């Protein structure tokens, strides 16, 4: 009897080790490590890829950076950013995940990843449909297509070259943006104060537009999740974006803008205090505290 238990335990251990070796593969970029061929009919964009998009994707893309959810590549002309969704973030890394038992931690993790993938793709679709210009989005591809897109040439950070089938790959294509803080610093060092003020105005205009559309839960960190395209403020990370219809009615977002912009104000105070009067002017223009509070408590 003991021998049988030993054999069973040893067999299970071998299966577990084999599973770990098989699924704990290299998480560096490769075409096998991005999401492909996942049909999301409810998120179909309903449009053919424009000729402009095909031309952009025909360029060589080189590894640029990575985020928590995607590998990021930059186009050869340095004008566009390609984001490829990481497979291991959203898909199981063990066949044990497919055993539907409530006490199975791999199965529970798999269900959580499915929900996360659905929420992320929905957020990207919302951004593309509602405010793609304010996110610098050029194209979003969440469903497989046939003979619409070219095959792409990609180079990873180690210089290795790959060919990627864009028709079968989930990806987001954006215009390359410059981060806000470095751009303002660059302008102030060059004495371009008026242009720096225009950027501040653009930031508040963007936050106001998002609020009017009911955008929420969009991780509005100005330092890293927003940027500038032609000195116009855009949100570059849209993975958590949602729309709340109630926010359109009660204008509650106006009460949040001061908190969203607080660290930006602190950075200006430490580095360019001469810009603070303009900051406060723009903040006051779109935050009417008494009216908002009265509306919320009616």
pLDDT, tens only, 7-55: 545 444 444 444 444 444 446 788 888 988 776 766 766 566 778 899 9
Helix (H, G, I), strand (E, B) or coil at 240: coil
Distance of alpha carbon 84 from alpha carbon 173, whole angstroms:
9
Tokens of 207: 């936050």
Q: Residue 54 in contact with residue 149, Cβ under 8 Å?
A: yes
Q: Of 226, 219, 40, which Cα lies nearest the Cα of 145? A: 40
Backbone φ, ψ for residue 165 (5° rounding): -85, 100
Using only C-alpha atoms, the chain has a radius of gyration, in whole angstroms, of 23
Between 297 and 273, the higher pLDDT residue: 273
Helix (H, G, I), strand (E, B) or coil at 168: helix
DSSP state of 26: -
Distance of alpha carbon 41 from alpha carbon 63, whole angstroms:
30
Tokens 């008494």, located at residue: 290
220 has a pLDDT exceeding 70: yes
pLDDT, tens only, 94-133: 767 667 777 777 777 877 888 888 889 999 998 998 889 9
Q: Of 95, 90, 132, which Cα lies nearest the Cα of 114? A: 90
Q: SS3 breakdown of the chain: % helix, strand, coil, rounded to 5?
A: 55, 20, 30
Residue-level pLDDT at 217: 65
Tokens of 61: 């893309």
Q: Residue 252 in contact with residue 210, Cβ under 8 Å?
A: no
- When pLDDT is averaged across residues 208-218 and rounded to a whole number, the result is 82
Q: What angle, 0 to 180 degrees and rounded to 10, lies between the N-to-C axes of helices 193-212 and 276-286? A: 20
Residue-level pLDDT at 1: 55
- When pLDDT is averaged across residues 235-250 and rounded to a whole number, the result is 82
CB atoms within 10 A of CB 282: 21
Q: Confidence class of residue 195 from pLDDT cuts 50, 70 and 90? A: very high
Q: What angle, 0 to 180 degrees and rounded to 10, lies between the N-to-C axes of helices 262-271 and 180-189? A: 30
Region of poorest pLDDT, from 15-19, 183-187, 262-266, 271-275: 15-19
Which sequence spans correspond to the domains of the chain?
Answer: 25-175, 178-296
4 has a pLDDT exceeding 70: no
Residue-level pLDDT at 231: 96
178-296 under CATH 1.10.3720, yes or no: no
Q: Residue 213 in contact with residue 186, Cβ under 8 Å?
A: no
CB atoms within 10 A of CB 73: 25
What does the longest C-alpha to C-alpha distance in the chain come to?
Answer: 85
DSSP state of 74: E
Residue-level pLDDT at 31: 84
pLDDT, tens only, 148-174: 899 999 999 999 999 999 999 999 999
Half-sphere exposure of 234 (CA within 13 A, CB side): 23
């Amino acid at each position: 009897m003991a021998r049988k238990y030993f054999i069973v335990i040893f067999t299970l251990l071998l299966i577990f080790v084999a599973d770990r070796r098989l699924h704990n593969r290299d998480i560096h970029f490769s075409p096998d490590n991005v999401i492909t061929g996942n049909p999301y009919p409810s998120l179909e964009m309903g449009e053919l890829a424009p000729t402009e998009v095909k031309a952009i994707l025909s360029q060589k893309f080189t590894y640029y950076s990575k985020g928590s959810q995607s590998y990021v590549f930059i186009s050869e002309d340095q004008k566009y950013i390609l984001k490829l969704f990481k497979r291991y973030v959203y898909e199981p890394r063990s066949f044990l995940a497919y055993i539907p038992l409530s006490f199975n931690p791999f199965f529970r993790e798999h269900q959580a990843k499915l929900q996360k993938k659905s929420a992320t793709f929905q957020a990207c679709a919302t951004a593309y449909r509602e405010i793609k210009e304010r996110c610098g989005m050029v194209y979003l591809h969440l469903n497989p297509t046939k003979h619409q897109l070219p095959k792409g040439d990609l180079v990873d950070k180690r210089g290795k070259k790959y060919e990627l089938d864009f028709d079968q790959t989930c990806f987001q294509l954006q215009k390359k943006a410059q981060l806000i803080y470095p751009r303002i610093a660059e302008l102030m060092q060059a004495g371009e104060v008026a242009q720096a003020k225009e950027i501040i105005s653009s930031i508040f205009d963007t936050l106001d537009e998002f609020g009017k559309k009911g955008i929420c839960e969009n991780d509005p960190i100005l330092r890293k999740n927003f940027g500038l395209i032609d000195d116009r403020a855009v949100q570059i990370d849209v993975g958590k974006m949602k729309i709340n219809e109630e926010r359109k009615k009660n204008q509650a977002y106006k009460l949040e803008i001061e908190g969203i912009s607080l660290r930006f104000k602190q950075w200006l105070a430490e580095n360019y205090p001469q810009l603070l009067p303009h900051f406060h002017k723009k903040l006051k223009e779109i935050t009417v505290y008494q009216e908002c509070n009265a509306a919320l408590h009616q």
